[in-house]
Amino acid sequence: MRPPVVGREQTRINVDTAVEQRIANTNVTFTLIDAQGLITPDDKLRWHFGDISSFQEAGLQTSHLYRTPGRYEVKVEVMRDDTPFKILQEIITILPGQIEINRAQVMDRLRRNQRLLSVFALIIAVITGLLLLYVNKPFGSISDYLLAILWGFGIDSGVKSVADVFSKLRVTGGTA
């Protein structure tokens, strides 16, 4: 928030879009309030919105579409004779839009399902290992040790495969 101005109003950037409507993938409108009368008709205004490819020459009012939520520094360079005469700035916060909220919910469900599947795989691995190696069998022969090693490798590769699938889902699910 801007501190109160003592005395005369200052030239400033005004964010016309209400705070609750400053969300990702929605246009935010800005107006340059020239309370001090600094800007002449020959001046050019260069707007920088604080994100990638945000440079724009416009008039006293412009809008910008923010793709991702976050804090951004909005700047206006008042250009007089192709040199910066005055630079004004304002910090704004862009809130997550419905797409980002839905994506986060899907990712939370995927992580929860991944944990559940990992616990289930561990229980199945322990049960099958115990059944294979110990139930109604004496343990200690070479074939018992070989089966235990093969079982361990099988479980390890199975868990890694499931983890790889979920990591790929996480990467593709996290981008738009």
Query: b/e string for 131-167 if b means 16 or more Cβ within 10 A?
Result: eeeeeeeeeeeeeeeebeeeeeeebeeeeeeeeeebe
| pLDDT tens column, 126-157 | 787 777 767 777 767 777 778 778 877 877 77
pLDDT, residue 3, reads 54
Mean pLDDT estimate for the chain? 82
Nearest to 49 by CA among 20, 15, 80: 15
Q: Are residues 39 and 112 in the same domain?
A: no
pLDDT, residue 160, reads 77
Q: Are residues 44 and 106 in the same domain?
A: no
CATH number at residue 80: 2.60.40.10
Q: Cα–chain-centroid distance for residue 55?
A: 22
pLDDT, residue 6, reads 52
In terms of Cβ atoms closer than 10 Å to its own Cβ (0-12, 13-18, 19+), residue 49 is buried
Number of domains into which the chain is organized? 2
Q: Are residues 85 and 60 in the same domain?
A: yes
**Residue that has been written with the tokens 């976050």 in this structure:** 70
Q: State which of 96, 123, 153 marks the end of a domain.
A: 96
| Cα(164)–Cα(114) distance, integer angstroms | 11
Q: State which of 96, 123, 147 marks the end of a domain.
A: 96
Asked if residue 1 is part of any domain, the answer here is no
Q: Are residues 169 and 153 in the same domain?
A: yes
First to last CA, the chain: 32
Q: Are residues 121 and 77 in the same domain?
A: no
Q: State which of 96, 121, 149 marks the end of a domain.
A: 96
Identify the segments of the chain with pLDDT beneath 50.
1, 173-176
| Cα(144)–Cα(134) distance, integer angstroms | 9
pLDDT, residue 9, reads 79
